[in-house]
Chains A and B, each alone.
Chain A
Amino acid sequence: MKEARADRRRVTLRYRHDEVTARSVLVIDVESPEDEMPHEHKQDLKSLAAEVLGVPIEALPAEVEVRLRSRHAGHHEGDPEHEHEAEGQRVEGPARAAVTSRS
């Protein structure tokens, strides 16, 4: 895999559906440029999520779970000490059922 250029972010978009729990999750990982300060991440993630999803995080429907994480380029993927997770929204899967009957 190519190395992230210093002036660009590497963004990983991951969609996962767990059939056992019937839940779907969208995870957005952001690998920030090395000179970006940690305190900038949260706001940056929110604006990035808005850019990626096309709507502000606060406006996402209740059925959506989004997790936003960032880590500095150069750190190993999955290293929790170097990850910052922004608040997301959590609910059920993408399909819910209502039963009606008529004759």
Chain B
Amino acid sequence: MACGLLLEAGWEGVARLRTEREKGTAHVEDEVRLQVTLLPLLDEGRMRALLRETLKAAGWAETADGGLSKSEGGVTASLTPDGREVVIRASATVEVEGVGRAQGDDEDAAREAQRAAKADLARVTAQAQEGLRAKTLGEIAAAEPGLRAALQTALNRVYREALEEKARSMGEVESIQEKGDARGSYEVTITVQA
């Protein structure tokens, strides 16, 4: 007896999957602004000039816009060209990629995959920025106390120079005394016969 087996086999269609990739950049920049207010011991231009001289002596470099800057610990401190602010800035950049898929191999599928890739890129970028922001804010927080102290030291030097200039314009300088302590406090006393 013949025995047979009839097999009916059919192939399920294997869908073509279109994949698109979108590349981009996640960038974050954070800053802290310190206002620099100077006592008007001399005219404002002279006070600002003294501050610039003092910061340059402390290693700050001239910038193209007429300001000064110094980089340290992953952050850059910049004196604005008008000398009224010091901006402590940290930035970070990372390359990111979004991936989108769509079924099919025609142009509609390609467009759909591209749309999905762009949407994914936006999601990945936002996620990356969140991580980068934690990094930049951490760098600023770590650098800020030292930069504030350095700026205050510069301001103390500016006031010392300005007071001496003022005293000499008033009359005969009798004495100049300076004192400070390890915590950063500072005092200068100038006596003049006016």
> Could you tell me which A residues sit within 8 Å of B by CB distance?
1-2, 4-5, 8-20, 24, 26, 51-55, 60-61, 63-64, 94-103
Contacts and interface: CB of A to CB of B under 8 A. Distances in A.
A12 B194 contact: no
Interface stretch (B2-10, B102-110, B111-119, B166-174): B166-174
A96 B28 CA distance: 24
Contact of A11 (B29, B34, B191): B191
A13 B29 contact: no
A71 B163 CA distance: 21
A18 B186 CA distance: 7
Interface of B: 27-43, 86, 129, 133, 137, 148-149, 151-152, 155-156, 159-160, 163, 166-167, 170-171, 174-175, 181, 183-194
B37 A61 contact: yes
A8 B175 contact: no
B189 A102 contact: no
A17 B155 CA distance: 10
Contacts of A20: 183, 185
Given A13-B163, A95-B34, A95-B155, A8 B194 contact: yes
Nearest to A97: B34
B184 A94 contact: no
A100 B170 contact: no
Contact of B166 (A5, A13, A97): A13
Given A8-B194, A54-B40, A15 B170 contact: no
Task: Give 4 nearest A-B pairs by CB, closest first.
Answer: A19-B184, A63-B37, A16-B187, A15-B159
B152 A13 contact: no
